[in-house]
Chains A and B, each alone.
Chain A
C-alpha cells in the first residue's frame, strides 16, 4: 500500500469507516431516541395513482438489486468458480438479471421522483434530510444502472469483482484494498462514494423504515391486547426515551 496517497486513504478508507460508524451509532441512537419518527412516511393519502405503479415496482426492483449486490460484492469470485459456474455464465446472468432489476428500478424511481418533484402535495411532505437521502439514492441508482447496462450489457464489460468487490469486502475484513478501488473507472467510484453517503444519512432519514419490515405479522395473533403491566414511570419530559432532547427544558 505504499503508493496510496493521503487523499485516497481519506476517501476510500477513513470516510467509509466513518460512514459505517455513523450508520451503526445513528441507528442505535435513532431507535432509542426517536421511535416516534420511525415510519415509512407514506404519502399515499396525498396521491395514489402514481404510487400504485411507482411504489411496488421500485421496491421489488430494489430487493432484486440488493440480492444482486449480495451475490456480486459479498460472494468472492472464487466461490462461484468453485461451484463450477464459469465466468462468462456469471457475467451473462449478472448482466441479464441486473438489467431486469435496473429497468424495474429506473421505472420505479422515475415515477416516484416525478411524483415527489411535481406533485405539490407530496413534495410538501419531504423533509430536508429526506431530500438528501433521496437524491443520493437516485445517484447510486443511476450510476449503478449505467454500470450494469452501459458497461456490463452494452459495453465491453468490467470485472468489478476484481476491484470494487475486493475493496468493499476488505473494509469488513479490516484491510481494504485501496489500490483496487482507486484505479476503478470513475463511474464505479462515484457509485461507491454515493453509496457510502447514503449509508451515512440512512439512520436519519425515512429509509429506516426498511428495517421494520413486519414479517412477524404472518404469525402473530390477529387481535393484540395490552394490559397494565408494572413499569417504571418514564422520566418526565422524555416520553420514555433514555436520552433527553438537547435544549428542551421541562
Chain B
C-alpha cells in the first residue's frame, strides 16, 4: 500500500446558477494574457449541449483518455507511443481554434477616432489572431441556457449515447449547468501523452501541472486529455492548464473558482488513496464498474490502520487531521452522493459532482407529482428515463443505479428536513436510502448550511518546504513572470504589470492580511508552520 494524498473538489450541481463568476475570476487570475484569450481553466457548460471545445466528450472523435487493448491492458486511446512520435509533425487528434472559438477583442479606438457624423460610432470585432474583422460562430458559452438547443443539443455525445429518443420540445426539456475544471486525475492521460515529460503530478497533493520550461510544444497533452483541459497558448507555443490555484492551495486557501462561487457549491478537501491500486482500477474491464473501482482506491481517513500507515509513510499529521474532516471524502465515499465525471475515460478524475435533483423534480412536477411527497419523487426517479439516463452517461458510464441512489439520498434529505421544519412526520427515513440518522444530518449540513471552513478544508503545504516548492515551480519570482506573462515587471509584451506576488510566512500573532509594500509588491501572508 502506497498512501498518497490528493486535493479533491466536489461540486453540487443542484446549486449552480450558471453565473460564470467562477470562469471570470479564474480568467482574471490565470488566463488574461495574450495567447490565452480562448483558454478557460474553468468553464461552465449548459447541459444538454456540446460543451467546450465542441463535442469534447466524444472520444471516438478526439481519442482522449485511455482504453483497454485486446489483452485488457491500459493504453492511450490515441495509440502507441511510437505512433504518437511518428505523428508528431501533425497531431491527427488536435482540436483547432474553430472548435473553441477565434479569440477577439473590439476596435474600441474607433469610438474616439470616428469622424463626426449623425450616427453614434460602434465598435467592430477584431480577431486576436490576425487583427482582422471577424464574426463569431461558436464559443465557450454559445449555448448558454440552451440557446440554439433545438438545432445543436441533440449532438451532445451524452444524448447520442442514449437508447431512447430525446425530445427537446418545450414541455419535456431539461437543463442544468456543469462547471468544469481540470480533474487532476489519478491516472492522467495528459501526463502520459507528453513526449517531453514536461507534465507531472505532484506527489504531495496530486495537482497536475505543466512545466513551462520543459514543454516543447509537441501538443499531445491537449489531445490526450479527454476533458480538453490542457490548452495551447498560441503566443508562447506552450501548453497551459488549470493549476488548481496551487499557490493558494499551498497557502491553505481554496481555489479562486471555489472562493468566488456564488452558489457556494464547491467543496475542497483531501482524499487519501492507495497509489498501488490506481492502475488496476483504471484497467477495470467493464467501464460501468469504474465508478466503484475508483471508490475502491480511496482509503478511509478515519481507519486507524490507514492513519498509522500514512504517518509511517510520511504524510504530515495535520494533513491526516484535515483528511478526516474532508467534505470531499464525506460526499464521495461516506454518503455516496458525489459521482465522477465520465469515469469511462479511465483517468480516475478527482473532481466529483453531486448530480442535480432539480431537473428530475421539475419533470416529475410537470407530470403531476408532488415534490413534497418523497415517495412520489422516488417513484419518479425510478420511472424516469430522462434525465437519469442522461446523468448516468455523464457520471457512471451509463450505469443508472448509482445515479438513482444518489438522487434518492438527496430527495430523502429534502423530505426529512421539510417534514422537520413543518413539524410533520417524514414519509421516508434515512435508513430507506442506506444512511444513518447521523449521516443524514451530516449530509444536510454539508449540502445546505456548510460554512466556508467546512466547505474548504485545505491544509497548508508544510511551510518548512515552501521555499522548495516554490523553487520546484520556478516561482520565486512569479508564475506569470515569463515572456508573455503579465508579471514581467512592466516589461511584458502586453505592457501591463501585475505586480509581483510574494508568499511570506505569517507569525502566529500577525493578522492574516495581504497588502502591498512601499514598492507596490503584493504580499500574501501564509498561515502555519514553525516560525
Contact = CB atoms under 8 A, between A and B. Distances in A.
Contact of B91 (A44, A60, A206): A44
A36 B238 contact: yes
B191 interface: yes
Contact of B81 (A43, A217, A224, A232): A217
Contact of A223 (B81, B192, B216): B192
A228 B476 CA distance: 14
Nearest to A53: B90
A232 B471 contact: yes
Interface in A227-250: 227-240, 248-250
Interface residues of B, number: 64
Interface string A204-226: 00100100101111101011111
Contacts of B491: 248
A41 B200 contact: no
Interface in B331-367: none
Per DSSP, are chain A's interface residues mostly helix, strand or loop, or mixed? loop
Interface string B136-159: 000000000000000000000000
B19 interface: no
A165 to B, nearest CB: 30
A42 B85 contact: no
A48 B132 contact: no
B195 interface: yes
B129 interface: yes
A236 B477 contact: yes
A120 interface: yes
A59 B82 CA distance: 16
A80 interface: no
A238 B131 CA distance: 33
B85 A217 contact: yes
Interface in B58-96: 81-82, 84-85, 87-92, 94-96
Contact of A249 (B236, B477, B482, B489): B489
Contacts of B84: 217
Contacts, number: 164
A209 B97 CA distance: 23
A230 B197 contact: no
Contacts of A52: 90, 92
A228 B129 contact: no
Contacts of A51: 90
Contacts of A124: 129-131
Contacts of B196: 212, 214, 217
B465 interface: yes
B25 interface: no
A122 to B, nearest CB: 9
A36 B212 CA distance: 6
A56 interface: yes
B470 A217 contact: no
B407 to A, nearest CB: 34
Contacts of A26: none
B517 to A, nearest CB: 14
Contacts of A39: 215-217, 236-238
Nearest to A248: B491
B255 interface: no
Given A214-B196, A217-B195, A218-B82, A228 B217 contact: no
Interface string A50-74: 0110011011100000000000000
A83 B482 CA distance: 54
A159 interface: no
Contact of B200 (A38, A44, A120, A226): A226
Interface in B467-517: 467-472, 474, 476-477, 481-483, 488-489, 491, 500
A43 B236 CA distance: 11
Nearest to A245: B491
B177 interface: no
B90 A228 contact: no
A5 interface: no
Contacts of A233: 467, 470-471, 476
B253 to A, nearest CB: 19
Contacts of A45: 94-97, 219, 232, 234
Nearest to B212: A36
Contacts of A44: 90-91, 94, 96, 219
A125 interface: yes
A40 to B, nearest CB: 4
A236 B235 CA distance: 25
Which one of A38, A44, A120, A125 has the highest number of Cβ atoms from chain B below 10 Å of its Cβ?
A44
B201 A36 contact: no
A153 B382 CA distance: 78
Contact of A48 (B85, B94, B203): B94
Given A48-B94, A212-B216, A215-B85, A234 B477 contact: yes
Interface string B199-218: 11111100000001111111
Nearest to A125: B234
A76 interface: no
B326 interface: no
A226 B474 CA distance: 13
B202 A227 contact: yes
Contacts of B131: 124
A68 B59 CA distance: 41
A124 to B, nearest CB: 5
A55 to B, nearest CB: 4
A43 B97 CA distance: 10
Nearest to A235: B476
Contact of A231 (B88, B214, B236, B468): B468
Nearest to A59: B89
A185 interface: no
Q: Which 8 A-B pairs have the closest CB atoms?
A: A214-B195, A39-B217, A35-B213, A227-B203, A222-B192, A55-B89, A41-B237, A39-B237
16 contacts: A36-B482, A44-B219, A46-B234, A55-B90, A56-B89, A121-B129, A218-B82, A226-B472, A228-B469, A231-B472, A232-B471, A233-B471, A234-B477, A238-B477, A239-B474, A240-B474
Interface of B: 81-82, 84-85, 87-92, 94-97, 127, 129-132, 187-188, 191-192, 194-197, 199-204, 212-219, 232, 234-238, 465, 467-472, 474, 476-477, 481-483, 488-489, 491, 500
Given A36-B482, A121-B129, 6 more contacts: A35-B213, A35-B214, A41-B237, A125-B234, A230-B468, A250-B477
